[in-house]
Amino acid sequence: MNRKSSFRRRFGIVLVLFLIAAVTSAPIRHFAAFPNELRLFEGQVKRLDYAMPVHAQGSLDPQVAAVNGSAASKFQVDLNHPLSIQPKQSGMTELKLRLFGRIPFKTVKLQVIPDLRVIPGGQTIGVKVKAAGIMVVGHHLVQTGSDSRVSPGEDAKLKLGDLIVSINGKALNDVKKVAGLAEQAGKSGQPLKLVVQRGKSQFETSLAPAFDHEDKAWRLGLYIRDSAAGVGTLTFYAPDQGVYGALGHVITDMDTQTPISVGSGEILQSNVTSISKSQSGEPGEKRAQFVRESKTLGNVERNTSFGIFGQMTEPPGHALNPEPVPVSFAEEVQEGPAEIWTVVNGQKVERFSIQIVHVSKQTSPATKGMVIRVTDPKLLERTGGIVQGMSGSPILQDGKLVGAVTHVFVNDPTSGYGCFIEWMLQDAGIMLKPDQVTSKAV
């Protein structure tokens, strides 16, 4: 019995060691790393090098892509040598690899997207937006008597962050017109009929203005706002489509932190006058001002989680490189050296070295796609790291636009978050989503 137990133990140990060696061997690891899905831009060749001692027969739709220059739908491949995939036209197909022409070995879903190149930004821009209604940013009490105070806005169940989109059936986004409507309703004794946007839903409510005996005026009991302004950084300009993307994050109301629903807006040239350096616990900022008599560069049509987007009517000046560059898919971004383009003085765009220290695996739009750290001594000396107003600064890696700066770490301003450029391009309406690409059968 002892001999049998000893043999079994030794056999078990040998078997475990064999399995470990097999799993950690290069061919097995390379097979595990072989992608199940692959996305490519038209005209941009993809090279796969897995060094697997395997000969296989491959097949795919030759109208969508070619492998190793073959124009046939079926071909032979030696995976011990690099595999070169040449996209031809947009569409979807499957690259199927079979051993001995029969045994299924690997199937890769291949998606080809129309080629896309954009001009990286980095310029500081001024942003003015007009809300798609009247924003509720606070409540106040109206003195209706010597010892009585009410807030009609609270009585109407309005909350901070609500957007009043119409009053008495008419769209309204000008606070200057509200006082007249309040006085008219107060004198007539008829409450105002409001349509209010809260989040993604709308509701109706009535608001009866109260007469303020101190100010001798009819009041709603609300603090309201209809616009916002500030500075940020242009991320990219797509000359073929005439659109731009900037900021890398949503514009929110400064009091309620509610995303602003944009009715209209514009971006203008801006000039950096000074820098308040970042330090631990206190993020710095770019101090900038709109360029006097500057031309409007474009409009603001959308305000999303990934920034602002719209049509650009005046090509931005002061570009570091006016030539379009390729863009990267989210899965192509790698940890390692990169650079950001931004302005720290005047209007001059400069490039600064950074390190991408972490990349999140995202298959659908989400913020905080990567963690970056500033490594450039010049930028650290001048700004202390990432400062407010730097959001939207383009991130480039290996000559491709990969993302944009979005946030700074308060306790470590040398580091911060970046978003993937893919999600910004989708919100700009110039990159196709996976379900928008036509499928092609093999």
Q: Which residues are catalytic?
A: 249, 376, 391
Of 339, 332, 331, 369, the residue nearest 355 (C-alpha): 339
DSSP H or E run through 421: helix 421-427
Beta bridge mates, 139: 222
Burial of 61 (0-12, 13-18, 19+ CB in 10 A): buried
Main-chain phi, psi angles of 421, to 5 degrees: -65, -25
Question: Which two structure tokens, joined as six digits, stand for 320?
Answer: 């570091």
Amino acid identity of residue 391, one-letter, is S
3-state helix, strand, coil in the chain (%, to 5): 15, 50, 35
- Residue pair 247/235 in contact (Cβ under 8 Å)? The answer is yes
**Residue-level length of the chain:** 442
Which residues, at least 6 apart from 176, have a Cβ–Cβ distance to it below 8 Å?
A: none
| C-alpha R_g of the chain | 29
Of 362, 365, 337, the residue nearest 352 (C-alpha): 337
Q: CA 350, CA 341: separation in Å to the nearest integer?
A: 6
Q: CA 216, CA 186: separation in Å to the nearest integer?
A: 12
